[in-house]
Chain A
Amino acid sequence: MSHQARDLAASREHAPHRSMLLRMLVRAAILRRGRATSALFAMVVAAAVATAMLNLYVDVQAKLRREFRNYGANIILVGKNGASLPAEALARVDSVLAGHGSAAPFALVVARTADGQPIVVAGTDFDRVRQLNKWWSVSNWPSAADQVLVGVRALPLVSPKNQSFALNFQGKTLELIPAGTVQTGAAEDSRIYISLPEFIKWTGVQPSTIEVAASGSPEEVTAMMTQLSGTIPAADVRPVRQIMEGEARVLGKTRATLLAASALIILTAALCVLSTLMGWVFDRRRDFAIMKALGASGRLLNGFFAMEAAALGAAGAILGFLVGIGIAAWIGRANFHATVYPRFSVLPIVLVGSIAVTLLSAIVPISLLRRVQPAVILRGE
């Protein structure tokens, strides 16, 4: 051994002891920066798109359900055989809902106008109705106790000049001041709405209907209905089928479309990674040949390229996951005006998928290269 070689061996003894494999991995990435970056970039984009799509797919149902709650009630409680509901029914409904929805009571009677015309008068809680039936077009919500809402079709009959008017119910007369009009295109247009305490004081009639907009999946809503009929035995609990069925159909179709789109997009992104990575590995056939010429076994070579691919896949998946939840959050904000929360349950799927794709795109070129003699590759043929 020469003097120089001894020196070198001595200096290497104090060098930090790192495994050869790690060193090869790191140096390969640093030396071929351009190609490594483009492969990583493709991986990040693919993982980001996959994350965003999966996140949206999980979340879109909840977001669209919220839109459907604007249709108003999906459950209606009515007193059995036309009887009134017990006074504590509304409080019980609220405790069953526990914040997952809203409810409004309605009490109805037929009163007479000054010239003897019959008209339906409803007593309700205006704050609750406002929250429940967002589609009501109301010119001005009542603020004082004796102020009322008049349906647009009833207005010319009772108060053509927007003046105060009197209504008669079983001999008792009540003087009312119109605050505004309500327009819905349905039965509400022919009615007069007054506040519930005032209504009970005047007629003595308790609410007979509670409209409930319960949010949640069909199973949760069904569970709430069972709970409601359990806690309020005097009430008939009915689903509003047209709303529930329409909601289920539209949500189902939207999710199916989203699923088809996600499958297409993820497939395309995976293909993009596949072609970039295959190019990268092919490109390094000289490294491969040198390692083989230096006596590396087939297993070692496979292990090395597989490690490299897996590392790239994992790094790309984690970076892509971060970018992806950003994209999903942005779509949520731009389209639904609400936050799409990151779903960490998506991360393992993306991670495993990414590593699988990278491994696949490493294995194909390697198995081709293994059949070739290193000398042929090194000669540049």
Chain B
Amino acid sequence: MFVRLVYESFRRQQRRKLLAGAAITLGVTVATAMIAVATDIGDKINRELRTIGANLVVTPQEDSLDVELGGVNLKPPSDGAFLNEADLPKIKGIFWHNNITGFAPMLPVTAAVEHAGRRQDATLLGTYFAKQLKYGTEVFTTGVRNTHPWWKVSGSWPNDDSGDVLVGERLAAQLDNKPGDTLNISGRQVKVSGILSSGGAEDDEIVAPLSLAQQFLGKPGAVRRVYVSALTKPEDAFARRDPKSLSGAIYDRWYCTPYPQAIALQLTEAIPHSNATQIRQVSQNEGAVLTRIEGLIFLITLAALFASALAVSAAMATTIFERRAEVGLMKALGAGKLIVASVFFAEAALLALLGGIAGFGIGTVLAHQIGHSIFNSDIAIPPVLLPVILAIAVIVTFAGSAAAIRRAVKLDPVFALRGEL
């Protein structure tokens, strides 16, 4: 009888059930989409912040001081220590290798540049543009094109295996260079594939594939420094503790958290004779920006959950209130309070489950849409969210119906059937 009551109620009152179901579906949709966005926003904004540039730099341990003035390096080019290019793929072998979004080696050398009768001394910066590297079985592409996304090139980017170069825009203006020109650099003819605009010191420099700079320096495999872009967790008090003073399990926890310090330590360990540090301008500030945005989205998610809970309970209250006459009939026929209440609760649970599943599905699609249209990437939805969302849907539906059901149960059947309440 009980099952039949519930079944018939769904079959005969399709309009009302549809209304309540739609409210629950919408509520769950909003909740699912917002929770998915909130859990993923940190990672998404972190990736956007990487456009500001590398947040870690690896230098040789025994390096002499940089003597750089107005973007021109006054240190004798062969002075000081170098890193070994062959060690670089090891960066992809550290514990947090999935958090490394890219790296670019740098090797500045001084060169005499000549074009159309004009001669000038300039810095030639050797680097990777988009170089394919291999670590173990993993093949990946890295270089300035992903660590320095604000570099703009008119013409085309040189190939890493070619001898072509980019000329900075201010230097190009002085030398009267255009893409496609041939340039004489220290007695060697190289092709200019594009003009680089970086807004920084590189505008006065020549940017070349790393191997070309190594040939000019006469040191194959030499790298002066490596810029590393990594997704990091905002620094907190625990991050600033000295890893040497930590013991056992606490050290493991520090080491296995993607703090800038922990990733720097792992880079130092991975590359022999190196010293990795965070570039404080980038790494310190991104923590602050990230914390603010995450906090904001978290608070807004709370507001969204609150609004959808309210919408669900309002819809449930309305549908139950409309069925006073039915309650009156059931009670007049001798149904107890328990039966009446359990009929309504069973209906509410069924609605919550159906609406919850539909809402979760639509919410997932919505989160994907938001991810693609705003961040051009997928928003990951952990499957563990489904049972959590369903539980929340059932609880909210129950809570929303409780007040209305209590009133319905208390109803005097006489008044209810006369329609006077």
Contacts and interface: CB of A to CB of B under 8 A. Distances in A.
Interface of A: 38, 42, 45-46, 49, 52-53, 56, 60, 63-64, 67-68, 70-72, 78, 82, 108-110, 117-120, 133-137, 153-154, 157, 183-187, 190, 208, 238-243, 245-246, 249-250, 253-254, 256-258, 260-261, 264-265, 267-269, 271-272, 275-276, 278-279, 282-283, 286, 327, 331, 334-336, 380
B150 A242 contact: yes
Contact of A265 (B37, B304, B315): B304
For the complex of A and B, the 6 pairs showing the least CB-CB separation, nearest first, are: A380-B419, A241-B199, A279-B318, A246-B52, A272-B311, A335-B295
B289 A257 contact: no
Given A241-B198, A246-B49, A249-B51, A185 B322 contact: no
B45 to A, nearest CB: 6
B279 A265 contact: no
B99 interface: no
B299 A64 contact: no
B278 A185 contact: yes
B242 interface: no
B69 interface: yes
Contacts of B52: 71, 242-243, 246
Contacts of A335: 292, 295-296, 299
B314 A275 contact: yes
Nearest to B275: A153
Contacts, number: 211
B33 interface: yes
Interface stretch (B23-31, B83-91, B131-139, B180-188): B23-31
Contacts of B56: 185
B374 A257 contact: yes
B279 A70 contact: no
Nearest to B407: A34
A185 B57 contact: yes
A269 B374 CA distance: 24
Given A136-B280, A256-B374, A380 B418 contact: yes
Interface stretch (B5-13, B60-68, B205-213, B330-338): B60-68
Contacts of A336: 292, 296
B26 A271 contact: yes
A118 B288 CA distance: 37
B285 A135 contact: yes
15 contacts: A42-B310, A67-B285, A120-B66, A187-B66, A241-B198, A242-B51, A242-B53, A250-B45, A250-B49, A254-B293, A257-B370, A265-B300, A279-B321, A334-B295, A334-B299
B48 interface: yes
Contacts of B200: 240-242
B289 A67 contact: yes
A38 B284 CA distance: 48
A250 B30 contact: no
Given A243-B52, A246-B52, A60 B288 contact: no
A275 B48 contact: no
B164 to A, nearest CB: 24
Given A253-B45, A268-B307, A60 B30 contact: no
Contacts of B45: 250, 253-254
A68 B57 CA distance: 22
A117 B281 CA distance: 28
A153 B41 contact: no
A93 B49 CA distance: 29
Contacts of A241: 150, 198-200
A135 B26 contact: no
A186 B279 contact: yes
Nearest to B44: A253
